[in-house]
Amino acid sequence: MFSSQYSRSHNGQVAEDPYLWLEDITGDDALAWVRAHNEPTIAQLNSERFETMRSEILEILDTDARIPYPGRRGEFLYNFWRDEANPRGLWRRTTLESYRTDDPDWDVILDLDELARAEDENWVWSGPEVIEPDHTLAMISLSRGGADAAVVREFDMRTREFVSGGFELPEAKSSVSWEDEDTLLVCTDFGEGSMTESGYPRIAKRWRRGQPLAEAETVYEAEPTDVRVIASVDRSPGFEHTRLGRYTDFYHRIRYELRDGELVELKVPTDSSLSLHREWLLISLRTDWQVGDVTYPAGALLGTKFDDFLSGTADLAMIYEPDEHSSLAGVQWTKEKLILVTLRDVASHVEIVTPGTWEHRDAPDIPPATDTIVVDSDHFGDEVFYNSSGFTTPSKLLYGTAGGPLVEVKSAPAFYDASGIDVEQFFATSKDGTQVPYFVVGRRDEPSPTHLYGYGGFQNSLTPGYLGGAGRAWLARGGTFVQANIRGGGEYGPDWHKQAMRENRHLVYEDFAAVAADLVSRGITTVEQLGASGGSNGGLLMGVMLTHYPELFGALVCSVPLLDMKRFHLLLAGASWVAEYGNPDDPADWEFMSKYSPYQNISKDAKYPPILITTSTRDDRVHPGHARKMTAALEAAGHQVLYYENIEGGHGGAADNKQAAFRSALTYEFLWQTLSG
């Protein structure tokens, strides 16, 4: 059973890995192993309080009082909706006039529960690629159990039926884009040699209606060592564009515009991000860029006319320049305006920019001290929807035009009583002296059970959105919630992330440890009452807290995690993250990675806090073998570990609201049992 063993070197010692088989088990063997670990976990946590938490969270996820967030496509607003009666979901639409009423008249386009029953499949919605500006056809992606890989099928939005004999792709990590109603650009698994080492498509083909997929015309190829190929089409009338290219690693791309059958390279920094809208090109920088005598700083946003850029006559305008307290959070276009969202010490600020003059003015009617995002903006008009919320402030959906007055069209109810609950921002001093911000949400009368959450990777920012489920299950019971904005994220721009990449990864963990220690020193909590959780890259964070900082915590929850950093690049999409972490096959990289890799640093002699590890069998991004192997190794070393593996769920860990509520309740009940005494 212990097949496929390998040797590893760590601290001068060579040892076999007896748990490597846990990456490979499938079918009945995998189910038996999962059940043997799931059942005692459920039995231990299946208390009356757990059931109450699960019901409370499910009520929030299923309630009709939630905001049905819209997306404009032509004359209709579209929404995908799950509730108790429709656990897999409804793809539906309505008019703006109807949407603004208390009880919109929703027209169901596709009932996913009905489809799943008819086809006897556990379909999970992965979204549509709708042809624009026609909005008549869609390529709909359907995932089995929530995996990243999906089946893609052509759907006629007029007849509300899948097109018989139409475009259809078998299960794969595909992407498609409409060239016209009879032609797609397709990136998928075309067979042997067509996928990268990261498990994504490396070939883009032009596929015409009625043509066998095998005969589709190749338009661009990436290298096997690249992360994936890029192919997209913008069909805006009068401003049509086709872009091709390849991700050479997670952050670097080589991009081309396809013009008259020729590839024209877009000569921008390969780690920059581009936004192309009508005649305008935006360039968002991750590193400094020198153009002539001018150096544009990392984190800046530049704008110019696209044709001028291609001809080499571009006048680059500095639309946004960051400072040490602020960063670019996102940009969205309406037809004639640019919406600029920035963060200042992790608080949102929204501005409206006029292309050409690049004049800025604050967006009116945005509530202060909230987390505000653009839900949807109309590229063919001037309509915009914003969502605004805070940790204790339920979401409000604001509607208007870009730069015009806004009105509240929907609001979510309060899902918990926030009276007496304070929100404060503090700064912890990390080991190297860096000030690391974090938010504390709770009642400050005395030290209380505290849930500390973090991520710290891939330039993902954690912002202060409404705590619905956590509010009901945790804050309302007297707990405190903390969100740490550690390095590795994007809260202070690209440099906040780049400081903590590869050989400097230890800064992520030092930052999080500093926040944990600061919480105790301020009297917000005690070590025995402090728990932490994280998922994916945040699951790696939890693994490092367990093996390197166990004295700081009373409990940990580690979800869909990376943990074996010796083999992460050999599993599923792992090779795509080498730019973030390093290459363990390179001895120089493994030297610094081996010092923190949780799986390789388990100690029999250390005293670890209790830990709950969760994953999903259908996670085809981060292999469940990470969680399984870590659990087995911790058990063998005599440590207290609980384990739960959802058979469905993908990398999100849950395929529907019931599963999401169960998973959340599992986390909160485990933390409450271990931290509340």
Residue 537's domain is classified under what CATH number? Answer: 3.40.50.1820
Between the CA of residue 527 and those of 273, 473, 519, what are the distances in Å? 42, 21, 9
The pLDDT value given to residue 369: 78
As a whole number, mean pLDDT of residues 78-101 equals 97
| Among 68, 166, 176, 93, residue whose Cα is nearest residue 130 | 176
pLDDT digits (tens, 9 = 90+) for 479-507: 999 999 999 999 999 999 999 999 999 99
- List, by residue number, the catalytic residues: 536, 651
Per-residue model confidence (pLDDT) at position 197? 97
One domain for residues 51 and 132:
no
pLDDT score at 444: 86
**What average pLDDT does this structure show over 580-589?**
98
pLDDT band at 2; cut points 50, 70, 90: very low
For residues 516 and 525, what is the distance between their CA atoms, to the nearest angstrom? 9
Are 574 and 650 part of one and the same domain? yes
> The domain spanning residue 160 has which CATH number?
2.130.10.120
Residue 48 has pLDDT above 50, yes or no: yes
Q: Show the tokens assigned to 355.
A: 């292309």
Q: Which of 338, 331, 336 is nearest to 360 (CA)?
A: 338
494 and 536 together in one domain: yes
Same structural domain for residues 98 and 131?
A: no
Q: What does R_g of the chain's alpha carbons equal in angstroms?
A: 25
pLDDT exceeds cutoff 70 at 88: yes
> Residue 220 is encoded by which pair of tokens?
């661009």
The predicted-structure confidence for 455-479, as pLDDT tens digits, reads as follows 999 999 999 999 999 999 999 999 9
Nearest to 581 by CA among 573, 598, 569: 569
CB-CB contact of 504 with 495 (8 Å): no
H-helix or E-strand spanning residue 578: helix 578-581
Q: Please indicate, yes or no, whether residues 509 and 595 belong to a single structural domain of this protein.
A: yes
Tens of pLDDT, residue by residue over 530-555, are 999 999 999 999 999 999 999 999 99
Does one domain contain both 338 and 389? yes
Contacts of 530 (CB under 8 A, 6+ apart): 450, 452, 516, 519, 520, 552, 553, 554, 675
Give a yes or no: residue 3 inside a domain: no
Question: Per-residue pLDDT tens for 108-145?
Answer: 999 999 999 999 999 999 999 999 999 999 999 999 99
Judgement on whether residues 87 and 126 belong to the same structural domain of the protein? no
CA distance 114 to 517: 51
Say yes or no: 526 and 615 in one domain.
yes
Based on the fold, state whether residues 161 and 246 are members of the same structural domain: yes
Report yes or no on 219 lying in a domain. Answer: yes
Cross-strand partners of 372 = 388
User: Do 439 and 392 contact (CB within 8 A), yes or no?
Assistant: no
Name the pTM for this structure. Answer: 0.95
Task: From 76, 99, 119, give the residue that closes a domain.
Answer: 119
Instruction: List the structure tokens of 522.
Output: 């301020």
Residue 161 in this model has a pLDDT that exceeds 50:
yes
Rounded-to-integer distance, Cα 559 and Cα 546, Å = 13
Pair 254, 343 in one domain: no
Q: Which of 526, 566, 515, 559 is CA-nearest to residue 541?
A: 559
Residues 203 and 177 in one domain: yes
Residue 278 and residue 269: Cα distance in Å, rounded?
A: 22
Pair of tokens at residue 420: 């007496």
652 and 672 in a common domain: yes
Does residue 495 contact residue 298 with C-beta atoms inside 8 Å? yes
144 contact partners, CB below 8 Å, separation of at least 6: 121, 122, 123, 124, 150, 151, 171, 618
- Mean pLDDT, rounded, for 160-165: 97
Instruction: Please name which of 163, 160, 159, 155 lies closest in space to residue 130, comparing C-alpha atoms.
Output: 155
Question: Quick check: is 9 in a domain?
Answer: no
Determine, yes or no, domain membership for 306.
no
Confidence of residue 14 (pLDDT cuts 50, 70, 90): very low
Instruction: Answer whether residue 245 is part of any domain.
Output: yes
Split into its structural domains, the chain has a count of: 4
Task: Taking residues 383-393, report their average pLDDT.
Answer: 97
Residue 436 forms part of a structural domain: no
What is the per-residue pLDDT for 9?
Answer: 33
pLDDT at 16: 76
Residue 352 has phi, psi (to 5 degrees) of -110, 130
Across the strands, what pairs with 396?
388, 411
Residue 8 lies in a domain: no
What are 293-297's contacts with CB under 8 Å, separation 24+? 297/321, 297/322
Please give the residue range of the domain that contains residue 176.
122-266
- Work out the mean pLDDT of the chain and round it to a whole number: 95
Per-residue confidence (pLDDT) for residue 635, from 0 to 100: 97
Q: Give the sign of the dihedral formed by CA 28, CA 34, CA 39, CA 42.
A: negative
pLDDT at 3: 30
pLDDT score for 13: 34
Which pLDDT score is estimated for 10? 34
* Residue 272 included in any domain: no
pLDDT value at position 235? 96
The whole-number pLDDT of residue 8 equals 33
